[in-house]
A and B are shown apart, each in its own frame.
With several copies, the nearest count.
Chain A
Amino acid sequence: MIDKFRSDVLSVVDAVPSGASIAVGGFGSSGRPDALIDALCELDRRDLHVYVNNVGHDFTGVGRLLHEGRLRRVTASFPILQEFYDEYFAGRVELELIPQGTLAERMRAGGAGIPAFFTPSGAGTMLSDGSFTLRYSPEGGVAEHVPAKETRMINGREYVLEEGIVADFGFVKAHKADRKGNLRFRLSARNFNPMAGMSGRTTFAEIEQLVDVDELHPDDVHLPGVFVDDLVMSTGKAPATDEPAAAATRKAS
Chain B
Amino acid sequence: MTDTIPAPAPVTGRTREGIAERLAQDLQDGYVVNLGVGIPLLVPRFLPADKEVVLHAENGVLGIGGDADPHEADPDLTDAGKQPITLIPGAAITDSALSFAIIRGGHLDATILGALQVSASGDLANWYVPGKNPAVGGAMDLVAGTPQVWVAMEHVDRKGRPKIVAECTMPLTGKGVVTRVYTDLAVFHVVDGQLRLVECAPGVTPEDVRARTGAPYTEHLAG
| Interface residues, chain A, with chain B CB atoms under 8 Å away | 1-2, 27-31, 53, 77-80, 82, 85, 95, 97-105, 107-108, 110-114, 119-127, 132, 158, 175, 178-180, 182, 185-195, 198, 213-214, 216, 218-219, 221-222, 224-227, 237, 240, 244-245, 247-253
Contacts and interface: CB of A to CB of B under 8 A. Distances in A.
B198 interface: no
B145 A113 contact: yes
B95 A218 contact: no
Contact of B87 (A95, A103, A121, A249): A249
Most buried by A among B68, B76, B135, B139: B76
Given A182-B90, A187-B74, A80 B133 contact: yes
9 contacts: A27-B78, A105-B100, A121-B141, A127-B140, A188-B77, A191-B95, A240-B75, A248-B87, A252-B88
B76 A224 contact: no
Interface string B106-146: 11100000000000000000001000011111111100110
A244 B74 contact: yes
B221 interface: no
Contacts of B75: 29-30, 189, 237, 240
The A contact surface, by secondary structure, is loop
B93 A188 contact: yes
Contact of B88 (A108, A175, A221, A249): A249
Interface stretch (B16-24, B151-159, B166-174, B212-220): B166-174
B54 interface: yes
Contacts of A213: 89-90
B49 to A, nearest CB: 8
A114 to B, nearest CB: 7
Interface string B72-86: 101111110010011
B97 A219 contact: no
Contact of B104 (A79, A114, A224): A114
Given A2-B30, A124-B172, A194-B97, 17 more contacts: A1-B29, A1-B52, A78-B135, A80-B133, A97-B134, A99-B139, A101-B104, A108-B101, A111-B105, A111-B107, A121-B104, A125-B140, A192-B95, A216-B92, A247-B72, A248-B77, A252-B52
A165 to B, nearest CB: 12
Residue among A101, A190, A195, A225 facing the most chain B CB atoms (10 A cut-off):
A101
